[in-house]
Amino acid sequence: MAAHVQKLYAFIKSMTRQQKHAVLLGVDTLLVPVSLWGMLFLLQPQLDLAALVTLILPTLPYLILLAGTLSWALGLPQVRLAAYETRAVGQTAKLTLALMAALWGLTLINPLQGDLRGVVVFGLIYFIASVTLRMTLLQVVNTLYSLGKDHRNVLIYGAGTTGVQLVQALKVHDEILPVAFVDDNTSLHGVTVAGLPVYPALDIPNVVASKNIDRVLLTMPSLSSPKLTQIARKLEGMGLEVQTLPSFAQLVGEEALVDKLTSVSPQSFLGRDNLGNNLLTGLSDFTGKTVLISGAGGSIGSELCRQVLSMKPAKLILYELSELALYTIHQELEPLAAETQSELTVILGSVGNEHQVKDVMDAHRPNIVLHAAAYKHVPLVETNPLTGIDNNVFGTQVLAKAAQDAGVERFTLISSDKAVRPTNIMGASKRLAEQVIQDMASRSTGTLFSIVRFGNVLGSSGSVIPLFQEQVARGGPVTITDPRMTRYFMTVQEAACLVLLASTFTEGGEIFVLDMGQPVSIIQLAQQVIESAGFTVRDEHNLDGDIEIVIIGKRSGEKLYEELTIDGRQASTLHQKIFIAREAHPSELETASTLKKLRKIVDQRQPSNLVNVLSISVEGYARKSTIDSKSIASEIQVQISD
């Protein structure tokens, strides 16, 4: 039996389109004698076969010729069986009416049945037989296709308008077979829609197993993106392939095929007015100068480059460790440099490379150095403590020493609020970098050293907002470490502007602290990001919300809140958003001793010894070890791979 099915399937597949058209044309013509015989059999059942043939023959050739001609003219043979629906049925009705009119005219010449009854019965038989035969052929062909070749059984999730239209569209597809609907609407459970049964979502495992389903098509375009993502994840967890169908409005161009997510303006999360863009108007301290910016490809460094370049320096030196970041910022700044007639120089390298830094200083003789290069991601530095110390502390020392030797006028270190009573390696390394600059400032007779300290920058790499946006785009959940956590925030444009302004205020040795406004609750920030994307928060008060916020617990070295000064003492400056922190620092001997110990630890790869040194040298640093065996193993592995 299977062999016969395969042969029949192969025969149908081998037929050309013209051959299939000929078969359907034959159906339309051969139904004429069948309908005539049926009419006479119903109206004159007493007649024998010979008498029936005698009555039919005079009119039969004319009706067959007319049926074939009109069928072709109306395009009925060209209509695929799977596409034979309302419009095609209407064309069959037109053909039937034409044949009825012709039969009525022919009966006036050679009567088959004297009244109109015969014409009506003929028309009904012809129309019903034509439509039924095509439907039957479709079922036969579909059965042969399903038995004769491999195909994919698919489950349609959503029995609404889009789902029904998808089922109709898939009727003409040879390799995809819709077998059932799933819908969350309880009123549809147990009913048949578009010829398919509708099941509740809870029955999916049973339906998948019984109907051999391996793919699910989501046809709920009105559902929010997070909810669609949640459904998709559950289905994928069952080992199913999941695809989402866009709305038909999207397919025809009425709606954009884009995510519901919209751009989040950093300003909306500050909780205060942003600074104007005219802070640097009239500032000439950078005009005509040679300015070196380390970490030029980072979030802060790149914005410093943009703003410095707008003040028309003679030369801007971009110093960056990342090749991609350096290439990106260089490509961006080239047109602006041409407009301002400033020379643009790119340096690929590390600030910890003493020989390279000295060569750069000797070759370019910068007037101003803005040191933004640092490893700032707390968890990464926590698991790579020696690398963090080497780059953040000794990189700062190398660059600052080279700047002093080269006669640089002003050197500004970009620091962090995490340097205040730090609980992590990153914060401790930034505080040690501050101490290096404070120590050099106390002994410098030429270069003016200063520090600018501020909190988190909205939208920067590694900050929470891009992370929250990515989590929302994936359908959630949005994760935060502790509901009590707060952070200071500032836009990158505002931070860079105040850094440049503060650097012009220096008289040597200051720690400038930027006014960050009030600290922002991280959980409230997560809620704002979700809502600004057009979604709602799902919690115990709103079980039907889109995105859930999940508490995952504090990471190693993370603080609940940050501070901007150690002792709270600060003095005002010429600008209301810039203050000077009054903080003591270790003596020259103490600083030298600390750096010597750290240098030995880094060189000898002894991360376990860091805690004692940092606890003594950095005020407020947590004395319990935050450096575990994984950190040590990570550092050792880095050295082996290097």
Distance CA 597, CA 609 (A): 9
| Residues 285 and 309 sit within 8 Å (Cβ to Cβ) | no
Of the pLDDT bands very low, low, confident and very high (cuts 50, 70, 90), residue 344 is very high
Output the CA angle 522-525-526, nearest 5 degrees: 90
Q: How many C-beta atoms surround the C-beta of residue 318 within 10 A?
A: 24
Q: Is residue 274's pLDDT more than 60?
A: no
**Which of 398, 249, 369 is closest to 304 using CA atoms?**
369
Pick the residue with more confidence: 144 or 514? 514
Q: Is the pLDDT of residue 317 over 80?
A: yes
Lowest mean pLDDT among 116-120, 123-127, 423-427: 116-120
Least confident piece of the model among 110-114, 175-179, 321-325, 474-478: 110-114
Per-residue pLDDT band for 481 (boundaries 50, 70, 90) equals confident
pLDDT score, position 333: 94
77 or 141, greater pLDDT: 77
Q: How far apart are CA 7 and CA 149, in angstroms?
A: 11
257 neighbors 248 (Cβ within 8 angstroms): no
The pLDDT tens digits for 545-590 are 888 888 888 766 666 766 666 666 677 777 888 888 878 889 999 9
User: Is 562:455 a contact under the CB 8 Å cutoff?
Assistant: yes
Q: Number of H helices and number of E strands within the chain?
A: 23, 22
Domain spanning 150-251, CATH class: alpha beta
> Residue 249: what residue type?
A
484, pLDDT greater than 90:
no
531's enclosing H/E stretch is helix 522-532
DSSP for residue 394: I
Q: What is the pLDDT of residue 5?
A: 53
* pLDDT of 149 strictly over 60: no
Whether 349 contacts 319, CB under 8 Å: yes
Matching fold, domains 150-251 and 290-563+591-636? yes
Write out the H or E segment, with its range, that includes residue 579. Answer: strand 578-581
Range with lowest mean pLDDT among 46-60, 167-181, 330-344: 46-60
- For 13-30, what is the mean pLDDT? 80
Nearest 5 degrees, angle CA 142-CA 147-CA 150?
A: 100
Residue 251: per-residue pLDDT: 47
The residue that leads in pLDDT, 333 or 60, is 333
pLDDT number for residue 144: 66
Q: Regarding predicted confidence, which is higher, 3 or 393?
A: 393
Confidence (pLDDT) at 582: 77
Q: Half-sphere exposure of residue 351, counting CA atoms within 13 Å on the CB side?
A: 34
Lowest mean pLDDT, pick from 227-231, 397-401, 476-480, 637-641: 637-641
Range among 66-75, 162-171, 413-422, 591-600 rated most confident: 591-600
How many other β-carbons are positioned within 10 Å of the β-carbon of residue 240?
Answer: 18
Is the confidence at residue 618, as pLDDT, over 60? yes
Q: What is the mean pLDDT of residues 413-428?
A: 91
235 pLDDT higher than 80: yes
User: Which residue, among 121, 117, 123, has the nearest Cα to 101 in the 3D structure?
Assistant: 123
Please say whether the beta carbons of 321 and 349 come within 8 A. yes
pLDDT class for 432, splitting at 50, 70, 90? very high
Mean pLDDT of 460-467: 69
In this structure, the number of other CB atoms found within 10 A of the CB of residue 455 comes to: 21
Q: Half-sphere exposure of 354 toward its Cβ, with a 13 Å CA cutoff?
A: 6
Residue 352 pLDDT level (bands cut at 50, 70, 90): very high
Q: Supply 202's token pair.
A: 């809870």
**Position 74 confidence tier, pLDDT thresholds 50, 70, 90:** confident
558 in Cβ contact with 423 (< 8 Å): yes
Winning range, highest mean pLDDT, from 125-129, 139-143, 243-247:
125-129
- pLDDT at residue 12, as a whole number: 66
Provide the residue ranges of all domains of the chain, joining segments of one domain with +: 2-147, 150-251, 290-563+591-636
Residue from 192, 194, 257 nearest 221 by CA: 257
SS3 state at 155:
strand
More confident residue, 152 or 331: 331
152-156, 251-255, 620-624: segment of lowest average pLDDT: 251-255
Instruction: Tell me the three state secondary structure of residue 320.
Output: strand
**Mean pLDDT over the full length of the chain:** 81
Q: What is the average per-residue pLDDT within 40-65?
A: 75
Structure tokens at 331: 């490509």
Q: Which fold has domain 290-563+591-636?
A: Rossmann fold (3.40.50)
**For position 461, what pLDDT does the model report?**
60
Residue owning tokens 């935050």:
626
Distance CA 588, CA 595 (A): 11
In this structure, of 182-186, 423-427, 507-511, 635-639, the range with the lowest mean pLDDT score is 635-639
Find out whether 583 and 510 touch, Cβ atoms under 8 Å.
no
CA–CA distance, 637 with 639 (Å, rounded to integer) = 5
How far apart are the C-alpha atoms of 316 and 289, rounded to whole Å?
Answer: 8
pLDDT more than 70, % of the chain: 79
Residue 321, pLDDT > 90, answer yes
Which pLDDT band holds residue 379 (cuts at 50, 70, 90)? confident
How do beta strands 241-244 and 213-218 pair? parallel
Residue 79 confidence (pLDDT): 80
Please enumerate in sequence order all residues whose Cβ is within 8 A of that of 513, keeping only pairs 6 or more positions apart, or say none.
453, 454, 564, 565, 570, 578, 579, 580, 581
CA 116 – CA 570 distance, rounded (Å): 108
More confident residue, 360 or 15: 360
